[in-house]
Structure 1
Amino acid sequence: MTSTARDHQEKGVEPPYEPARLHEQAGPEKRPTDRVVFGVAAGLMVAFIAWGVAAPDNLSSVAATVLDGVIEGGGWAFVLAASGFVVFALWLAFSSYGKIPLGADDEKPEFRTVSWISMMFSAGMGIGLMFYGVGEPLSHFTSPPPGTADAGTSEAFDVAMATTLFHWTLHPWAIYAVVGLSIAYGTFRKGRPQLISAAFTPLFGRRRAEGGFGRAVDVLAIFATLFGSAASLGLGALQIGGGLVAGGFMDSVGTSLLVVIIVVLTIAFIVSAVSGVSKGIQALSNVNMVLAGVLALVVFVGGPTVLILNLLPTMIGDYFGDLTEMAARTAATGGEPTQTWLAGWTVFYWAWWISWTPFVGMFIARISRGRTIRQFVAGVILIPSSVSLIWFAIFGGAAIDAQRSGTDLASRAIEGQLFGLLDTLPLGAVLGVIAMVLVGVFFVSGADAASIVMGTLSQRGTIHPSRGVVVFWGAVMGAIAAIMLLVGGGGEDALDGIQNITIIMSVPFLLVMVLMCVALVKDLRQDPLVRRDQRAVEAIEQAIDYGRENYGDEFVVAVKPHPADDENAS
């Protein structure tokens, strides 16, 4: 302790705490492959594929049984936790922690805001919006949640749009934000590896986080990411196939064509992935947003424009008006019909989003360096939620209006409903082709991000995984989707099986996410900015107490160099 500090302490006043910069780079950019994580994850994939090929019926049966148990016995946990993550994320943003940067104090964001939002949105749910943009509002309109409204009525319209927003706005993005924020803070502020396991260092210590427990978490993250992405690849293939049929290019879509589509998309996202985030994903994500904007603008102008404009404030009002009821809906009050509905929608969605958090959370963390916590939460939750509001108002509103006007879109398979809506507009065939391209590009941008994340998990948190590992996981992702389509004899049963496995994998991650919240708060309490503010307040309080004790009210608090400090400096 210096003599200056000792003199201040003797007078009852400590100087403000001014820590040195604690931010460090997260180790070397290139790291060796973790043979345990990579080997175990690869072995599990081979075993699963072998199980699916040898006994597909048994695999499907086991997955369905486990899934039923998860939804019936743990549905309440998903409902409660999802809303808890929303509250937690918003609390962080509005608290004093919100000003903490995800990096050094003076570090600038790595990506421009537009590109940052585009990449985040494409990775998070771009292909989902294409697949469900028409299908979900239309489904809730023709078959509303139990006990809410009669099908096909004006009340059902309101319920359909509010329920869709509930599933696609604050809750899913808050789920992503919790994981992304924990990883980004640990990586760019604390200098830890970009791994999900590293987030547990404040709770369990570095040895356990990097030991067997941490490696098990990272293997599970790879497993969940792989199956979530494979399911998405299958959905994208089905929708592209539906577009080929709707456009008259094909009479029907068989398994062989779906496999060809998967192979083409797999090659595309591998090429994009090995080009790197700043080149491949950023470029594709920007293309995504332009194409999606064009398609939405055409539907907005060519569809029921006034109805869509009226929907925007109505949807917001209905959403917040029904939010507590939707967030608290469980089988306890609605019985079997409500439980069945929840299993198909809300609980399914919460589990689905959670199963994607290892992938989306890590990717959002990777692209958010230099943002503050407040900027992160605002960007990750509010901006995509606003885009989802506009998207569903345009496509959902136009679809329900067409349904009420006599065009029976609801009778189509869900992957064909978007193309059915586009057929009602001028140049519908051209719009259908644009939609198919958009589905493909959305998937490529999301899947190459997933392959990079799995490479990061396999190579001890490097932010630049080797091309060989990235290509391997990309190929495995495509192989799983293709094999499950072949085993399922058309793809639908196989995709259901993949989705079931993905949901099952979300169960341990629900607990992981809760623990990540606890670990993050523990970390933030010791952040240099927080400690500096605390010590500054303490110093001012001590100075005022000292002044009152010695001078009454006749004193001022001044900050000036201490004479001893000037002598030392000279």
Structure 2
Amino acid sequence: MPSPSSTSSKLPEVARWVFWPAAIVILVFVAFAIFFPDAAESLFAGIQAGIVSNFNWYYVLIAAFFVVFSLWVGFSRYGDIKLGKDDDEPEFSLGSWFSLLFAAGMGIGLVFYGVGEPLSHFANPRPGVEGTPSQLAQQALSQTYLHWGVHAWAIYVVVGLALAYAIHRRGRPVSIRWALEPLLGDRVRGGWGNLIDVVALVGTLFGVATSLGLGVVQISAGLESAGIIAASDFVNIILILVITGAVLFSVLSGVAKGMKWLSNINLVLAGMIVLFILIVGPTQFLLRDFVQSIGAYLQGFVGLSFNAAAFSGEAGEAWQATWTTFYWGWWISWAPFVGIFIARISRGRTVRQFVTGVLLVPTLITFLWFSVLGGTALYSELNGPGGLVGRDGSVNVEGALFAMLNQLPAGSILTIGAIILIAVFFVTSADSGALVMSMIASGGQVEPKRWIRAFFACVTSALAIALLLAGGLQALQTAAIIIALPFSVVMLLMCWAVAIAFGNEHRAFEKARRAAFLASIGSHYGLDPDQSDDATVPAGRRAIFRRRKRNSTSDEPPTEVF
């Protein structure tokens, strides 16, 4: 079986039926949004309303299905299947693997919504949710946990597991199409495979661009909070161009080690910010809040998972579009990116280890993040000094983090640290996103050409600018919801393909195990290999049985019962 690297070396520089259709779709979209922003904004609003009103139930249902599928495949009889050859050992130690999963889980979105989302659910709860301020605060964290917890990582498990099996077990290139080979067979090499990769590539572009758009909006809000410069669309565009220049320098210079150092520094910086807030903030409250909110999340898990705002009318649909449906769409559009990353680092793990680690570790770290940042903000609103929620109940989502930090000791230093954190997340996300997109566009090459990576870095930034000009945050959310619709179909097919592949391997394993049993002591139990089919017992082993039978001196059947 060829290795991914040896396979990729035979691949063309670019898969033209993947690269060009995706590039044309994105460039046309960018041009339309930049030159006709008002028309684009109206179009996005109409499409979002149509999808939410007609497919909201679908997004809720498939997100829950992916959780069930992940748990089933991880803890079923298929859990012992290894993502690699049978004698492969894990490439990374358990600690390093957990750290890398943490790196995959951390991103611009966590920083952007770490304070703003719990405050938003507290100030403007989901329609139908009522209670005292303390009850609303608890509900706000439970709802936030739903959006960032097991559902998000189950979506990544589906793509990551299918790709890890194809790449490490079957030696296929790093491309989405090969995850569907057990279902489509040789058709993945043709038009169907091209279509799958195009959908995955466009989806990844929108997912990464959404994150970059959120990041730059928050950076400008942080600069305004620090009194450096007022936030505006012009400032956002300048920030995107400056940071894109840093990404291009990284891509064109090939400074891979520099990016690794930046990623490690970012993780350390994020950990230091959480630890500092935990120490100087309401420590005992935050620790109790972390434990209690996990319990509340688990208690309401099923009801929250299947809530589709059926009895809440237009207000419920609007809330669902802003939050739950947006998140499921965002995670699905991010799934190729994160899926390829976690597949790459999971060689040698079993399916059970993969599912347990991916679902559990990032989820707990994410819960801690929201409990500390969001919990500190909620504590401020419940016990003073408050002021993070407007008099009209509005929450400035992009600026809420900096408003909360300013209430803590060394708030100005924390603000600068948060801006640096977001900026480096921007650089590392754009760089790694360009790498993943280049892999898909080149047909699965592990080391695609630099010009392809530079192209996708530029196109992703242009798409982020276009979305910001065509409606800002709402346009970013709409883009994620739209692109997730076609790729969700690909993910459902992935589940089917994984079930087929694992079922075939399990049956083959059972046949081989039975053949080995018959070859060793089967005759002792009166099992006649001549009655077995050719696939179960090889001809050589049947000959051994016949010789043993002829040499037998006793006509008495064994008394033991198997």
Q: TM-score, normalised by structure 1?
A: 0.86
Equivalence for 2:463: 480
Amino acid at match of 1:535: A
Unaligned runs of 5+ in 2: 529-539, 545-562
Which of 424, 429, 451 is the aligned partner of 1:468? 451
Q: Which residue of 157, 181, 187 corresponds with 1:177? A: 157
Aligned length: 526
Distance in 1 separating the partners of 2:184 and 2:5: 19
User: What amino acid is aligned across from residue 345 of structure 2 in structure 1?
Assistant: I
Contact kept in structure 2, 1:63 and 1:497, CA below 8 Å: yes
CA contact (8 A) 1:23 1:104 kept: no
Q: C-alpha distance in 2, partners of 1:46/1:545? A: 66
The reply on whether 1:246 has 2:229 as its aligned counterpart is no
Task: State the Cα distance separating 1:550 from its structure 2 match.
Answer: 8.8
Q: Which amino acid aligns with 1:462?
A: Q
Any residues of structure 2 matched to 1:327-342 within 5 Å, and which? 327-342=305-320
Residues 7 and 172, structure 2, Cα contact 8 Å, conserved in 1: no
Within 5 Å, give how 1:156-235 maps onto structure 2: 156-206=136-186, 208-235=187-214
After superposition, what is the alpha-carbon deviation per residue over 1:307-329, rounded to whole angstroms, capped at 9, x for unaligned?
01111221111001111110121
State the distance in 1 between where 2:177 and 2:476 align: 25
Q: Take 1:287 and 1:453, find their aligned partners in 2: how far apart are those partners? A: 22
Assess, with a 3 A threshold, how the Cα gap between structure 1 residues 434 and 61 changes in structure 2: closer, same or farther.
Answer: same
Which secondary structure state, in structure 2, belongs to the residue aligned with residue 133 of structure 1?
A: helix
Q: Counterpart in 2 of 1:154?
A: 134
Q: 1:280 Cα deviation (Å)?
A: 4.8
Q: Does 1:135 align with 2:84?
A: no
2:480 maps to 1:499: no
In the alignment, the residues of structure 1 paired with residue 251 and residue 130 of structure 2 have an alpha-carbon distance, to the nearest angstrom, of 46
Aligned counterparts of 2:492 and 2:282: Cα–Cα separation in 1? 43
Deviation at 1:113, TM superposition (A): 4.4
Aligned residue for 1:46? 27
Residue 263, structure 1, aligned to residue 244, structure 2? no
1:277 deviates by 10
Q: Which AA in structure 1 matches 2:115? A: V
> Residues 26 and 187 of structure 1 are in contact (CA less than 8 Å); yes or no, is this contact kept in structure 2?
no
Q: 1:197 to 1:153 in 2, by over 3 A?
A: same
Q: Which whole-Å CA distance do the structure 2 matches of 1:425 and 1:416 have between them? A: 15
Structure 2 contact 64–306 (Cα < 8 Å) conserved: no
* Closer, same or farther: CA 43–483 of 1 in aligned 2, 3 Å: same
For 1:458, which of 417, 426, 441 is the aligned residue? 441
- Post-superposition shift, 1:198? 1.5
Q: CA deviation at 1:537?
A: 4.5
Quick one: distance in 2 between partners of 1:455 and 1:484? 22
Q: 1:283 to 1:102 in 2, by over 3 A?
A: farther
Correspondent of 2:322 among 327, 344, 362:
344
User: Secondary structure of the residue that 1:134 maps to in structure 2?
Assistant: helix
1:409 partner SS: coil
Partner of 1:558: none
1:267 Cα offset (Å): 2.3
Q: Do the aligned partners of residues 143 and 532 (structure 1) sit closer, same or farther apart at CA in structure 2, a change above 3 Å counting? A: same
Q: Tell me whether 465-474 or 121-130 shows the greater mean CA deviation.
A: 121-130
Q: Which residue number in structure 1 is paired with residue 412 of structure 2?
A: 429
Higher mean alpha-carbon deviation, 476-485 vs 175-184, is at 476-485
Give identity over the alignment, percent.
Answer: 42
Q: Residues 465 and 285 of structure 1: is their aligned pair in 2 closer, same or farther, counting only changes over 3 Å?
A: same
Q: 1:109 to 1:271 in 2, by over 3 A?
A: farther
8 A contact 2:4–2:173 mirrored in 1: no
Is the aligned partner of 1:407 residue 2:390? no
Q: Once structures 1 and 2 are overlaid, which stretch shifts more, 67-76 or 368-377? A: 368-377
Alpha carbons 2:240, 2:465 under 8 Å: kept: yes
1:89 aligns with 2:70: yes
Q: What's the secondary structure of 1:28's corresponding residue?
A: helix
Q: 2:531 matched to which residue of 1?
A: none
What residue in structure 1 maps to residue 368 of structure 2? 390
- Measure how far apart 1:169 and its partner are: 0.9
1:304 maps onto 2:304 in alignment? no
Pick one of 497, 502, 509 that aligns with 1:524: 502
- Residue 265 of structure 2 corresponds to which residue in structure 1? 287
Contact 2:4 2:174 in 1 (8 A): no
Change in CA separation of 1:116 and 1:279 when aligned onto 2, cut-off 3 Å: farther
User: Could you tell me which residue of structure 1 aligns to residue 348 of structure 2?
Assistant: 370
**Residues 194, 456 of structure 1: 8 Å contact kept:** yes
Alignment gaps of 5+ in structure 1: 1-21, 552-560, 566-570
Counterpart in the other structure of 1:510: 488
Deviations 1:534-558 (A, max 9, x none): 532565489887545499xxxxxxx
Task: Give distance in 2, aligned partners of 1:532 and 1:479.
Answer: 50
Give the conservation status (yes or no) of the 8 Å contact 2:250–2:256: no
Residue type of the alignment partner of 1:327 = S
AA matched with 1:79: V
Letter of the structure 1 residue corresponding to residue 424 of structure 2: V
**SS of corresponding position for 2:193:** helix
Q: Distance in 2 between matches of 1:179 and 1:43?
A: 25
TM-score (norm 2): 0.87
Q: How many angstroms apart in 2 are the aligned matches of 1:304 and 1:428? A: 15
* Bigger mean CA deviation after superposition, 349-358 or 174-183: 349-358
1:278: Cα distance to partner?
6.6
TM superposition shift of 1:392: 0.9
Instruction: Mark the CA change 1:452 to 1:280 in structure 2 (over 3 Å): closer, same or farther.
Output: farther
Tell me if structure 1 keeps the 8 A contact 2:3–2:171.
yes
Answer yes or no: is the 8 Å Cα contact 2:266–2:424 preserved in 1.
yes
In the other structure, the counterpart of 1:103 is: 84
Amino acid aligned to 2:282: P
Q: Tell me the secondary structure at the aligned position of residue 526 of structure 1.
A: helix
